[in-house]
Amino acid sequence: MAEERSPLENAIRRLIAIAGPMSIAEYMRLCLTHPQYGYYVTRDPLGAHGDFVTAPEVSQMFGELIGVWMVAVWQQMGSPENVRVVELGPGRGTLMSDALRAAKVAADFYAAAVVHLVEISPKLQQVQQQRLESLGVPILWHSVLAEIPSGPTIIIANEFVDALPVHQAIKQADGWHERVVEIAPSGELAIGIARDPLPHFEATLPRGLRQSPVGSVYEWRSDTVALEIGRRVRTDGAALIIDYGHAWYGLGETLQAVTGHSFTDPLRAPGEADLTAHVDFAALAQSAQIIGGRIHGPISQRDLLRGLGIDQRAAALKARAPERAAEIDQALARLTATGPRGMGELFKALAIADPKLGELPAFET
Ligand code: SAH
């Protein structure tokens, strides 16, 4: 017997029936952020009991080191007496809470900071509020980055860009066609190929990918987040983007669905699983650079955390709480290890900054 369809699947099927097949990006957008049934709108997906675990949830060290980075960057900016500390997609507020706690030693930074959180999920906004209200820093919530007033700004985004919708195109004999979600003859949702090729698509691809063989898949985000970040920080600020992905252009399909810490079919139970795709750091860097930001990195998460002193931080924590030594070592390994199980190499950090700031902590060449 067929499984019962999720309410979002019914909504998506109605949309396809009316308007025809939808792009992968539109499907992803609906799955994650549909105002009623979207994955992020209806739940707190993080942590051991949720669907996935992120670096700030692995250890307090992650957020603390980012706090250290923020204070150093603020000093490089000339210690402005007002600074917008922006986080995109703050999840449970863990990173910001650990970062601000670590930044408290710099009392003038603490007094200058106004925190702006860009969060689409009302559920997670609540969790963030509970988590952060005792810190004594003003906090404002926004649904998009564009709402935040301009001025000196530090932007942090961990595992945010991977959740922004991706388009996919597949090379056919007559050119590149967008991949779409359609209803197959069997009645199930299926991946299809748009009938007409995308006009002039090949000319927009990075040169090395232009003569790809038939069947190649190329993914891209049309989201303007990198442009918007670059525009905000190019004259007075810096941004740190950490995510999993590739440092150079490539082909291949990376869209994945995760539920209960396991992979599942992205077309199954829309709205019930987390959908993400690799971040193309080269594309992000290019957009941010076009608009005048200086690009730093990308470097591996391992190099970022080592550069900010994670080994010393772990040693200090262990000295203070010897009974937690094994747990701290395990977290350190998970955050910095290379190979498929560690986050140290798969995750990368890219900074975008006002060119006047010069080298940034952990990105020095
Ligand atoms: N940075 C956190 C959470 C990562 S999960 C951590 O590292 O633990 C992705 C986060 O981005 C969630 O908070 C989710 O609700 C938010 N999010 C996803 N898409 C969004 C969008 N389009 N606009 C604003 N927030 C979004």
DSSP per residue, 307-354: HTTHHHHHHHHHHH-GGGHHHHHHHHHHHH--STT-STTTEEEEEEE-
| Number of domains present in the structure of the chain | 1
Mean pLDDT rounded to a whole number for the chain: 95
d(C-alpha 168, C-alpha 179), whole Å: 5
If we measure between CA atoms, which residue out of 178, 220, 223 comes closest to residue 196? 178
pLDDT of residue 2: 53
β-bridge mates for residue 148, sequence order: none
pLDDT of residue 248: 87
Read off the CATH number of the domain in which 265 is found: 3.40.50.150
pLDDT of residue 1: 45
The answer to whether residue 48 sits within a structural domain is: yes
The answer to whether residue 1 sits within a structural domain is: no
- Parallel, antiparallel, or unpaired for β 256-259 and 274-276? antiparallel
The answer to whether residue 317 sits within a structural domain is: yes
Joined together, the tokens standing for residue 174 give 């007559």
In sequence order, what E strands does the chain have?
22-23, 83-88, 113-118, 139-142, 153-158, 167-172, 175-183, 189-193, 217-220, 237-246, 256-259, 262-264, 274-276, 279-280, 294-300, 347-353
The answer to whether residue 178 sits within a structural domain is: no
The answer to whether residue 143 sits within a structural domain is: yes
The answer to whether residue 280 sits within a structural domain is: yes
Domain that holds residue 272: 42-165+221-350
Ligand 1, residues at Cβ distance < 6 Å: 32-33, 40, 46, 54, 56-57, 89-91, 95, 118-121, 124, 158-160, 163
The answer to whether residue 283 sits within a structural domain is: yes
Joined together, the tokens standing for residue 266 give 């992205």
Q: What three-state secondary structure class fits 278? A: coil
The answer to whether residue 331 sits within a structural domain is: yes
Joined together, the tokens standing for residue 85 give 């500390």
Q: Which of 42, 51, 119, 132 to mutate to test the pocket of ligand 1 (most atoms within 8 A of CB)?
A: 119
Amino acid in the structure at residue 125:
Q
pLDDT digits (tens, 9 = 90+) for 113-137: 999 999 999 999 999 999 999 999 9
218-243 as b/e: b if 16+ CB within 10 A = bbbbebebbebbbbbbbebbbbbbbb
If we measure between CA atoms, which residue out of 234, 43, 32, 227 comes closest to residue 145? 227
Q: Which of 40, 66, 162 to mutate to test the pocket of ligand 1 (most atoms within 8 A of CB)?
A: 40
What is the value of pTM for the model shown? Answer: 0.96
If we measure between CA atoms, which residue out of 304, 295, 297 comes closest to residue 355? 295
Q: Are 153 and 237 in contact (CB under 8 A)?
A: yes
pLDDT along the chain (365 residues), means of 10: 80 96 98 95 81 93 98 98 98 97 96 97 94 94 94 98 97 97 95 96 91 96 93 96 92 94 93 95 94 97 98 97 96 94 94 97 93
Q: Are 50 and 131 in contact (CB under 8 A)?
A: no
Query: Which ligand 1 atom sits closest to the C-alpha of 89?
Result: 11
